[in-house]
């Protein structure tokens, strides 16, 4: 075939050359060139129609905005609103009306500079003769005339080939007959002569036909250069014809840009000045008070408590200064007050400077301060006898919570200002911290400084959801939670206390050292969210993990301050390392030799701070035996996921064979799958599998076979290889049925206090379950159930988070799910869900890159994604997004735009096979 144009590789080049993968000299392949020319003619019609419609919309907009301004000026003037807020409101209405005046000129420019030139171009370049476009018909005739002799020759060659092969078949048959006769003792000479003659005749005829076939082939070779060059010349003329059209489109796109550009319009300048003056006169103090919403304010009880500290904190700050509260009887916390504060309480016992953040375990609560006023009537002995000590009542109506401050109003009593310096290094370092970080400035100036830091960070996220304003409150609060942890551990001048209790200075390539790494939780959502929007900070977290290895000898499981807690299960630092390395979102500065050695050690050797149970035993049995650790089912599932992550890192390092060893180990989850009951159940060292014995036993939370869960919670926990899990279930139908049951049955559970026995939204091992429908080609069910969870499980009430936020993990789940895509931790894959906003803009990596998500036709009913555009092109990997190819933030400024088109019915677009992805 001729001119395959093998060098064309970009999508634009492929789209402009429909025959890039086949020769256009083949019979009738030139039709693609003719179709392209015909499509160009139709595109001109579409262009005219599109911009005529835009001009019509502009006219409608002018009329609508004028009526709108009249109506709302009257409404606002007659309302009870007052002061600068009323003035600014009216200015906003007037500004909208003034902006609309410019659209009369826009309509005129669109018509004169865009639509009319296209009509003229179409008339000139696509002139018709009766029913055909003259130029395209000329191209068609030229192609046909060039192909006629070529097709005739190809026909002769095909006939010659068939004749030759037919004669060869007869020759073979004659030779076989002769062989049989020759071997027959009873054959006559006459029969032998007749057989030989037949062979001779067919041999000669075959030779003649072969000669004719070869002659025609040579004739084709001689003709081919002239034929191909002639076809290429006509093709080039079609290119030139199409090039003229594309050039005209480009000119008119520029013309349209100029038509709608109103930057220097006098109406806009006048409106802008008036509106800016009105805004400048507005009192903005109330604008920060969205923080005062009660969403996630550590309500909930028992296992449904968010356990978030309430009070003053800077971004990722070590100090989380806030009240430690109690009820009337000062009863034990009962899991409600691990972070000090609970919404149901009515007493403040003390203000502590350090707290855990959303964890289901108590720690910190250091450096308590409480102001009291003692008079002669105080009965101190009575207070001590009651165990209460000094404490104060408070009401939520009097609380004011802001970035950098917690205030009980009215603050009209005697005030005392206390400056507190804290250090985990030394008393002298505490003094340095106090001086360098506060400069002993006033309370208000420090508060304003902290507020500005928060606002600067939060302003990198712009969200709009006019049909669901409550979701903006939840989203903004989730952002705050996700940016409150982990904890910055280095102090002023960069010093910090290491895991060997020695004092270090942070490396120059790190902005901060981090600790309080709730790894079992944050690897799933919070760290991937950091990688997406603040890769440098995520990179510092990974380096902090590797510094722990240097100082403590082991990959940590759950480090707090400068020590190991050994809390929870798994060696999920493996997954954090894999996540950052696979996405490669920042200049890593990682010592890969050290990383690989740490991963090998955690997967294969016993360690002092055991991230894993006895690796040699696990490797021996290829599962964790139940008679050696009762949580063996969840341990085996966790290690399989961890080994997959290690395999990813090995693969990225070029260690392909070693990577395959860990990928093989990642399949060991199959060893505890009961093929009859279709559940994961532990085995003992003899191989006996111990599944629950009754239906109710499958639904007992904190069952001894599983860590913080039951059989249903862990039934689908194979995030790294759900396609294989689908196979184990016997195929997509039964898998979808059972996974759907997990969510349908969970909806009726009345409380978060006790774990939901089906889908437990308040604990981490279930967070990925709603996204696993993708692997059975049913992403519509992910969209259905994830949207339900957003709107029913997460609320703006005090118990608005369904469980421990665990250092921002639940909040980051909410953020990803609300944005409409979710990470498979440890990989570069995201899974598409149901975005629940109209528009989100994220200035990633301090504004280096812009990610814009636009959602069309969104509403409470339109929860299904019909299609997704990536930078204007249809996303071919739906329902998956690839971080490397789609979202990676390059070293230079870049912009990524995702557009979701929503409907009330599931999409009919075929989904990409999950195995292919």
Q: How many domains does the chain have?
A: 1
Calculate mean pLDDT across residues 327-339: 68
Prior bond of 486 cis (ω within 30°): yes
Q: How far apart are CA 339 and CA 914, in angstroms?
A: 41
Q: How far apart are CA 165 and CA 209, in angstroms?
A: 9
- Confidence grade of residue 302 (pLDDT, cut at 50, 70, 90): low
Confirm whether 101 is domain-assigned: no
- SS3 for 865? strand
pLDDT tens across 144-153, in order? 888 888 888 8
- Confidence grade of residue 283 (pLDDT, cut at 50, 70, 90): very low
pLDDT of residue 399: 79
pLDDT of residue 384: 46
Q: Please tell me the total number of residues recorded for the chain in this structure.
A: 917
- SS3 for 852? strand
- Residue 688's CB: how many other CB atoms inside 10 A? 11
Report angle CA 685, 690, 695 to the nearest 5 degrees.
Answer: 170
pLDDT of residue 425: 96
What average pLDDT does the chain have? 85
The percent of residues above 90 in pLDDT, for the chain, comes to 43
Residue pair 526/483 in contact by the 8 Å Cβ criterion? no
- Confidence grade of residue 308 (pLDDT, cut at 50, 70, 90): confident
pLDDT of residue 676: 95
Q: How far apart are CA 834 and CA 467, in angstroms?
A: 15
Residue pair 664/658 in contact by the 8 Å Cβ criterion? no
Residue 285 pLDDT > 50: no
Prior bond of 823 cis (ω within 30°): no
Q: How far apart are CA 731 and CA 439, in angstroms?
A: 65
Q: How far apart are CA 498 and CA 256, in angstroms?
A: 61
User: Is the pTM value of this prediction over 0.75?
Assistant: no
pLDDT of residue 301: 57
Q: How far apart are CA 278 and CA 542, in angstroms?
A: 47
- What phi and psi values does residue 895 have, to the nearest 5 degrees? -130, 135
Calculate mean pLDDT across residues 168-172: 89
Confirm whether 433 is domain-assigned: yes
Calculate mean pLDDT across residues 360-383: 68
Residue 684 pLDDT > 80: yes
Confirm whether 505 is domain-assigned: no
pLDDT tens across 824-868, in order? 999 999 999 999 999 999 999 887 889 999 999 999 999 999 999
Q: How far apart are CA 663 and CA 646, in angstroms?
A: 8
Q: What is the CA radius of gyration of the chain?
A: 36
Determine the structural domain holding residue 335 and report its residue range.
287-457
- What phi and psi values does residue 881 have, to the nearest 5 degrees? -125, 140
Residue 261 pLDDT > 70: yes
Of 249 and 274, the one with more pLDDT: 249
Residue pair 768/524 in contact by the 8 Å Cβ criterion? yes
Residue 271 pLDDT > 80: no
| Among 567, 578, 590, residue whose Cα is nearest residue 524 | 578
pLDDT of residue 376: 52
Calculate mean pLDDT across residues 402-425: 80
Calculate mean pLDDT across residues 770-777: 97
- Say what the alpha-carbon torsion angle 224, 227, 229, 234 is, to the nearest 10 degrees: -150
Q: How far apart are CA 231 and CA 238, in angstroms?
A: 11
Confirm whether 745 is domain-assigned: no
Which range, 223-227, 415-419, 852-856, is most confident? Answer: 852-856
Of 41 and 565, the one with more pLDDT: 565
Which range, 165-179, 393-407, 816-830, is most confident? Answer: 816-830
Calculate mean pLDDT across residues 234-243: 86
Residue 226 pLDDT > 70: yes
pLDDT of residue 15: 37
pLDDT of residue 375: 57
- SS3 for 832? strand
Calculate mean pLDDT across residues 751-756: 78
Residue 608 pLDDT > 70: yes
Q: Which two tokens stand for residue 531?
A: 């990688």
Q: How far apart are CA 390 and CA 376, in angstroms?
A: 15
Confirm whether 326 is domain-assigned: yes
Q: Which two tokens stand for residue 328?
A: 């009337």
Residue 377 pLDDT > 60: no
- What phi and psi values does residue 564 have, to the nearest 5 degrees? -95, 130
- Confidence grade of residue 573 (pLDDT, cut at 50, 70, 90): very high
Q: How far apart are CA 277 and CA 77, in angstroms?
A: 20
Calculate mean pLDDT across residues 404-409: 74
Residue 236 pLDDT > 70: yes
Residue pair 106/262 in contact by the 8 Å Cβ criterion? yes
- What phi and psi values does residue 133 have, to the nearest 5 degrees? -80, 120
**CB-count exposure of residue 525 (10 Å: 0-12, 13-18, 19+):** buried
Give all strands (DSSP E) within 187-241, no chain letters: none
- Residue 149's CB: how many other CB atoms inside 10 A? 11
pLDDT tens across 190-202, in order? 888 888 998 899 8
Report angle CA 846, 847, 852 to the nearest 5 degrees.
Answer: 125
pLDDT of residue 6: 39
- Residue 685's CB: how many other CB atoms inside 10 A? 14
Calculate mean pLDDT across residues 50-75: 84
Q: Which of 28-37, 165-174, 803-812 comes out lowest in average pLDDT?
A: 28-37
- SS3 for 362? coil
Q: How far apart are CA 724 and CA 727, in angstroms?
A: 5
- Residue 12's CB: how many other CB atoms inside 10 A? 9
pLDDT of residue 147: 84
pLDDT of residue 21: 41
Residue 167 pLDDT > 50: yes
Q: Which of 276-280, 618-622, 903-907 comes out lowest in average pLDDT?
A: 276-280
Helix 573-583 with 592-604: angle, nearest 10 deg:
150
Calculate mean pLDDT across residues 664-672: 98
| Residue 689, strand partner residues | 683
Q: How far apart are CA 588 and CA 392, in angstroms?
A: 50
pLDDT of residue 331: 62
Which alpha helices (H) appear in 441-518, and where do they start and end? 443-458, 469-482
Confirm whether 313 is domain-assigned: yes
Q: Which two tokens stand for residue 105?
A: 């000129």
- Confidence grade of residue 755 (pLDDT, cut at 50, 70, 90): confident
- SS3 for 598? helix
Q: How far apart are CA 263 and CA 269, in angstroms?
A: 8
Q: Which of 126-135, 507-516, 639-648 comes out lowest in average pLDDT?
A: 126-135
Q: How far apart are CA 849 and CA 619, in angstroms?
A: 44
Q: Which two tokens stand for residue 703?
A: 């069952």
pLDDT of residue 869: 95
- Residue 223's CB: how many other CB atoms inside 10 A? 13
pLDDT tens across 452-509, in order? 899 889 889 988 876 677 788 889 889 999 999 999 999 999 999 999 999 999 999 9
Q: Which two tokens stand for residue 344?
A: 């149901």
Q: What is the 3-state secondary structure (H, E, C) of 39-85?
A: HHHHHHHHHHHHHHHHHHHHHHHHHHHHHHHHHHHHHHHHCCCCHHH
Residue pair 878/912 in contact by the 8 Å Cβ criterion? yes
- Confidence grade of residue 58 (pLDDT, cut at 50, 70, 90): confident
pLDDT of residue 30: 78
Residue 18 pLDDT > 80: no
pLDDT of residue 260: 82
pLDDT of residue 80: 56
Q: How far apart are CA 875 and CA 891, in angstroms?
A: 24
Q: Give residues with Cβ within 8 angstroms of 598, minimum separation 6.
A: 546, 549, 554, 555
Confirm whether 261 is domain-assigned: no
Confirm whether 777 is domain-assigned: no
Prior bond of 40 cis (ω within 30°): no
pLDDT of residue 540: 96
Of 142 and 638, the one with more pLDDT: 638
pLDDT tens across 615-653, in order? 999 999 999 999 988 889 999 999 999 999 999 999 999
């Amino acid at each position: 075939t001729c001119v395959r144009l093998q060098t064309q590789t970009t999508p634009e080049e492929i789209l402009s050359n429909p025959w890039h993968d086949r020769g256009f000299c083949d019979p009738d392949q030139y039709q693609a060139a003719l179709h392209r020319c015909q499509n160009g003619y139709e595109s001109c019609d579409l262009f005219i129609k599109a911009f005529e419609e835009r001009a019509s919309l502009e006219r409608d907009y002018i009329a609508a905005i004028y009526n709108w301004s009249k109506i709302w000026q009257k409404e606002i003037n007659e309302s009870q609103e007052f002061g600068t807020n009323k003035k600014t409101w009216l200015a906003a209405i007037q500004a909208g009306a003034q902006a609309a005046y410019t659209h009369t000129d826009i309509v005129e420019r669109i018509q004169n500079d865009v639509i009319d030139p296209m009509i003229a171009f179409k008339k000139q370049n696509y002139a018709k003769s009766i029913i055909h476009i003259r130029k395209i018909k000329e191209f068609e005739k030229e192609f046909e005339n060039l192909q006629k002799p070529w097709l005739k020759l190809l026909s002769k060659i095909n006939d010659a080939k068939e004749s030759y092969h037919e004669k060869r078949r007869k020759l073979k048959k004659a030779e076989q007959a002769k062989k049989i006769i020759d071997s027959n003792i009873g054959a006559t000479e006459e029969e032998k002569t007749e057989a030989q003659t037949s062979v001779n005749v067919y041999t000669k005829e075959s030779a003649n036909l072969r000669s004719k076939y070869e002659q025609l082939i040579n004739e084709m070779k001689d003709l081919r250069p002239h034929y191909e060059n002639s076809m290429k010349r006509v093709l080039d003329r079609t290119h030139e014809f199409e090039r003229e059209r594309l050039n005209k489109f480009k000119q008119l796109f520029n013309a349209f840009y100029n038509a709608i550009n109103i930057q220097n319009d006098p109406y806009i300048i006048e409106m802008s000045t008036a509106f800016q003056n009105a805004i400048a006169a507005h009192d903005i103090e109330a604008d920060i008070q969205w923080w005062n919403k009660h969403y996630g304010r550590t309500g909930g009880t028992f296992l449904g408590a968010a356990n978030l500290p309430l009070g003053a904190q800077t971004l990722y700050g070590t100090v989380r200064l806030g009240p430690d509260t109690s009820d009337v009887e000062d009863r034990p916390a009962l899991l409600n007050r691990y972070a000090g504060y609970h919404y149901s309480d009515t007493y403040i016992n003390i203000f502590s400077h350090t707290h855990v953040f959303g964890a289901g375990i108590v720690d910190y609560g250091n450096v308590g301060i409480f102001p009291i006023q003692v008079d002669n009537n105080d009965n101190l002995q009575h207070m001590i006898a009651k165990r209460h000590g000094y404490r104060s009542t408070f009401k939520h109506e009097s609380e004011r919570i802001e970035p950098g401050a917690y205030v009980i109003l009215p603050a009209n009593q005697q005030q005392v200002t206390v400056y507190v310096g804290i250090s985990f290094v030394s008393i002298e370092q505490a003094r340095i911290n106090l001086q360098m970080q506060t400069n002993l400035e006033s309370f208000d100036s420090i508060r304003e400084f902290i507020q500005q830091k928060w606002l600067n960070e939060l302003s990198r996220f712009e969200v709009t959801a006019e049909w669901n304003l409550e979701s903006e409150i939840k989203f903004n609060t989730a952002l705050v939670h996700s940016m409150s942890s982990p904890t910055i551990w280095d102090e002023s001048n960069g010093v910090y206390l290491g895991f060997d209790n020695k004092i270090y200075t942070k490396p120059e390539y790190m902005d901060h050292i981090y600790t309080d790494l709730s790894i079992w939780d944050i690897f799933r959502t919070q760290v991937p969210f950091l990688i997406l929007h603040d890769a440098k900070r995520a990179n510092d977290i990974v380096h902090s993990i590797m510094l722990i290895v240097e100082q403590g000898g082991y990959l940590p499981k759950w480090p707090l301050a400068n020590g190991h807690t050994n809390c929870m299960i798994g060696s999920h630092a493996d997954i954090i390392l894999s996540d950052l390395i696979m996405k490669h979102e920042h200049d890593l500065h990682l010592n890969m030799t050290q990383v690989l050695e740490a991963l090998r050690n955690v997967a294969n050797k016993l360690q002092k701070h055991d991230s894993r149970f006895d690796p040699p035993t696990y490797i021996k049995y290829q599962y964790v035996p139940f008679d050696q650790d009762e949580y063996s089912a969840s341990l085996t599932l966790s290690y399989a996921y961890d080994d997959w992550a290690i395999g990813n890192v090995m693969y990225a390092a070029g260690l392909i064979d070693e990577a395959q060893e860990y990928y093989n180990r990642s399949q060991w989850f199959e060893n505890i799958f009961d093929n009859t009951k279709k559940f994961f159940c532990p085995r003992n060292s003899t191989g006996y599998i111990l599944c629950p014995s009754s239906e109710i036993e499958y639904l007992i939370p904190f069952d001894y076979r599983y860590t913080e869960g039951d059989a249903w919670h862990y039934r689908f926990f194979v995030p790294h290889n759900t396609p294989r899990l689908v196979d184990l279930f016997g195929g997509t139908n039964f898998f979808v049925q059972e996974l759907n049951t997990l969510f349908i049955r969970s909806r009726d559970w009345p409380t978060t206090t006790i774990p939901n026995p089906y889908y437990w939204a308040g604990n981490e091992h279930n967070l990925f379950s709603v996204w696993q429908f993708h692997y059975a080609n049913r992403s519509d069910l992910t969209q259905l159930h994830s949207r339900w969870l957003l709107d029913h499980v997460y609320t703006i009430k005090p118990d608005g988070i369904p469980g421990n936020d665990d250092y921002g993990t639940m909040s980051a789940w909410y953020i990803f799910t609300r944005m409409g895509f979710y990470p498979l931790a440890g990989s570069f894959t995201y899974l598409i869900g149901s975005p629940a906003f109209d528009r989100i803009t994220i200035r990633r990596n301090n504004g280096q890159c812009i990610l814009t998500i636009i959602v069309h036709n969104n509403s409470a009913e339109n929860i299904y994604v019909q299609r997704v555009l990536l930078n204007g092109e249809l996303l071919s990997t739906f329902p998956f997004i690839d971080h490397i190819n789609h979202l990676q933030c390059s070293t230079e400024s870049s912009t990524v735009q995702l557009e979701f088109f929503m409907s009330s019915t599931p999409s009919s677009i075929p989904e990409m096979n999950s195995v292919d992805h």
